[in-house]
Amino acid sequence: MTIAPSKSGLSTEQLVATLAELMTQGGFPTTARELNENLDALYDKWELDSLGHLDLMVALGNRFGVTITDADAEELKTPTATLHFLTTVLRVDS
């Protein structure tokens, strides 16, 4: 993965809010509150396929300057795992 410089001062709330925004733009309307409650269950509810997941992960990576390839995204099997990865890579503040 290609990792851009860390975005200092980025909070977990900002990361989750951005994910909610991108999901809503992609046709899966949600709020940051819903994502915080159970991110993986929302994916199951929407039956988001692997291509939809890849598109979302690429969009999220682009927003924060992290390149996530298709192969990398496939390794990040769940939305929660992906969010954890981005939180770690971007050194997100809790």
pLDDT tens digit sequence for 13-65: 777 788 788 878 877 777 888 877 776 676 666 655 666 666 777 777 787 77
Asked whether residue 85 carries a pLDDT value surpassing 80, the answer given is no
CATH number for the region 2-89 comes to 1.10.1200
Cβ burial of 68 (10 Å; 0-12, 13-18, 19+) is: buried
User: In the chain, what are the domain boundaries?
Assistant: 2-89
pLDDT at 12 over 80: no
| pLDDT tier for residue 8 given thresholds of 50, 70 and 90 | very low
Task: State the pLDDT at residue 6.
Answer: 44
Q: CB pairs under 8 A, 24+ apart, for 28-37?
A: 28/52
Q: What is the pTM of this model?
A: 0.57
Tokens found for residue 22: 């991108």
User: What does the alpha-carbon distance between residue 49 and residue 81 come to, in Å, rounded to a whole number?
Assistant: 16
Taking the C-alpha atoms of residue 3 and residue 65, their distance in angstroms, rounded to an integer, is 7
Q: Which amino acid is at 3?
A: I
Which DSSP symbol is given to 67?
E
In terms of pLDDT, which residue wins out, 3 or 10? 10
